[in-house]
Structure 1
Amino acid sequence: MLNTIPDEVNFLDCTLRDGGYYTNWDFAPELVSDYIATINTLPVRMVELGLAGKPESHGYFASVTSSKAEQVAAGLLVKACVMIDAKDVLASELPIPIAVIRLTEGLVPGHITTVRVAAHYSNLAACRNICAELSHRGFRVFLNLMQIDAANAAEVEMCLKEVKQIDTLDVLYIADSFGSMKPTRVQELISLFADRIEPDIGFHGHDNRGYALVNSVAAAMAGATWIDCTMGGMGRGAGNT
């Protein structure tokens, strides 16, 4: 099956972030060292080191900073990213640019080249300024469009229009947040977005119905050039690809 994936597909390993739901974002240093060494032998383009901006009580990899990245990923041979939740910015009483700065304190472009923004599809319009501020600070910006399978045709069309207004976006991810999609639905959404927007397209699968792997292949065949994966499929709920 994997032999059918186009060569231009980039794999992003998000074990330390999505797998962190099982460990409260704490991983033993020895395990992280082994993980980094293993990643360096695999065709992985980028590693997600965890979340940024969460309370320290959530675990070490829930509040990643550049100094932490330098420590834990010193030997990493590929690029690194972190994820922030758009809802953490939008819930703040501060103006969005200031809220983004507060949430990402301690992050500077370097070991971490990219920030991924997780956003519900209904909040896409409000993410424009979030993406703009991150880009202004020198980060590449990936946006994970969550729960999009629950959107109706009109809402999907609105998402397409809103994405076109975000000119600082590098990659738009279709996230199968509920693990509810079948391959035909994945192909439908990936093809729709790939045909009509400028940013590259990614796919983040969940395995609730056992389709995470086949859905990832379907996404790649439909035009996605970024695919999320984790070690052993470790991830929230039923797991990932």
Structure 2
Amino acid sequence: MKDLVMMDCTLRDGANVVGKGFSADLTKMMIEGLIKSNIKVIEFGNALGLGAYESRGAIAPLTDGEYLELVQPYLDQAELGMFIGVTNVNERNVELAARYGLKFLRIGANASDGESACEAIKLVKKHGLKCRYSAMKAYVLNADELAEEARMLEECGLDELTIMDSAGTMTPGEVREYVEKMVAKVKMPVGFHGHNNLGFSGSNAIAAAESGATVLDCGLMGMARSAGNCPTEMAVALFQRMGQMEYIDQYALLDFIDKELSPAMKEYGYHNPIEPIDLVFGDAGAHSSFEKIFRDVAAEKNVNLYKLIRGVSKLERKTVTKDICLRIADEMLKA
């Protein structure tokens, strides 16, 4: 498995859970939380992309210009970019992105519509931006057809292509076939963006990575259109078990979700489908019936709850006692 890049799409696709875009406060909160966790490839802005505010009536709390102004302090801390529908790729929009210092634009077009994107790719490259591409509704073409379209787009100058399972309909076997065939056809990085409609978002992310994809789209707390994306924090837990994404500070990420993001999203009626503690129970192999013991000892000894759960679970999974927890907590404090 090649080294994996996490692209967090919460601030773009995730904005669908509140309308067409997040507020300034939530945008700043999430960018800072992601950077603090060392997740530094971030897509943000209007849920329908750059230019959609005017052209498609996708009214968000901020205009494109206001989102671009907002991210200026973070440009040297992360690779920030925007999505843009292929019909909105024009001189004005691309020049705006370049002028405000974005690192990339990701062109979105439905699979089979790739020929319409060649000039758009050239325009993005002319302005010095990395050009990514989302093959939306990837499943409308078979794996061979999509791979051939990717080859054509690469010849137009494309830097990276994401296979987008827009309906969450693909199974791990299908993801493997699509990724393997595309990786064999092109030299550019291949990414995968999966929705969770059939509950396969995590399995499909693993299948994509094992088949040669090197970029994975995710969303904090699973936030995205419809049934959501693969949760960022779940992907981190899964791939760190496989020796990947070790550059991400998982504890900082979970702390951010617990203390800042989850409380903020409750105001919008959004409920986290997998709470951080349940994620850690699954990752550590710890039964949730021991939760009170873990919490009591973590509070008594003032140690990180999630580190305690993992530490104890390496030693004992069947019967967790307070004595075992106290011993591990003391070892944590000494370390």
> Contact 1:53/1:104 (CA < 8 Å) preserved in 2?
no
Residues 1:147 and 2:145 aligned together: no
> Contact 1:117/1:144 (CA < 8 Å) preserved in 2?
yes
Tell me which protein shows more strand as a share of its residues: 1
Bigger CA drift: 70-79 or 209-218?
70-79
Shift of 1:35: 1.0
Cα 1:25–1:131 change in 2 (3 A) is same
1:149-173 Cα shifts (integer Å, max 9, x gaps) = 121366336424423432x111111
In 2, Cα distance between the equivalents of 1:217 and 1:109? 37
The 3-state SS of whatever aligns with 2:181 is helix
Paired position in structure 1 for 2:70:
71
Please tell me the root mean square deviation across aligned C-alpha atoms, in Å: 2.2
Greater RCO structure (CA 8 Å; 6+ sep): 1
Identity of aligned residues (%): 27
Paired position in structure 1 for 2:306:
none
Shift of 1:108: 1.5
Greater Rg by CA: 2
Shift of 1:33: 2.5
Aligned partner of 1:20 among 15, 24, 48: 15
1:82-105 Cα shifts (integer Å, max 9, x gaps) = 01111x24xxxxxxxxx6113435
Paired position in structure 2 for 1:94:
none
Paired position in structure 2 for 1:3:
none
> Contact 2:194/2:201 (CA < 8 Å) preserved in 1?
yes
Q: Calculate the TM-score normalised by the size of structure 2.
A: 0.61
The 3-state SS of whatever aligns with 1:202 is strand
Output the amino acid matched with 2:183: A
> Contact 2:23/2:62 (CA < 8 Å) preserved in 1?
no
Output the amino acid matched with 2:121: C
Bigger CA drift: 49-58 or 207-216?
49-58
Aligned partner of 2:181 among 171, 186, 192: 192
Residues 1:49 and 2:39 aligned together: no
Q: Calculate the TM-score normalised by the size of structure 1.
A: 0.84
Paired position in structure 2 for 1:175:
164
The 3-state SS of whatever aligns with 1:15 is coil
Output the amino acid matched with 2:113: N
The 3-state SS of whatever aligns with 1:40 is helix
Aligned partner of 1:119 among 77, 92, 109: 109
Paired position in structure 1 for 2:194:
205
Output the amino acid matched with 2:84: I
> Contact 2:10/2:223 (CA < 8 Å) preserved in 1?
yes
Shift of 1:26: 3.5
In 1, Cα distance between the equivalents of 2:144 and 2:3? 31
Aligned partner of 1:33 among 24, 28, 32: 28
> Contact 2:12/2:43 (CA < 8 Å) preserved in 1?
yes
Which runs of 5 or more residues in structure 2 are unaligned?
Answer: 231-335
In 1, Cα distance between the equivalents of 2:153 and 2:80? 24
> Contact 1:120/1:147 (CA < 8 Å) preserved in 2?
yes
In 1, Cα distance between the equivalents of 2:204 and 2:136? 16
Which runs of 5 or more residues in structure 1 are unaligned?
Answer: 1-5, 90-98
1:63-98 Cα shifts (integer Å, max 9, x gaps) = 524x63242452462110101111x24xxxxxxxxx
Cα 1:113–1:75 change in 2 (3 A) is closer
Paired position in structure 2 for 1:133:
123
Aligned partner of 2:5 among 3, 10, 28: 10
The 3-state SS of whatever aligns with 2:124 is helix
Paired positions, count = 224
Shift of 1:111: 3.5
> Contact 1:15/1:231 (CA < 8 Å) preserved in 2?
yes
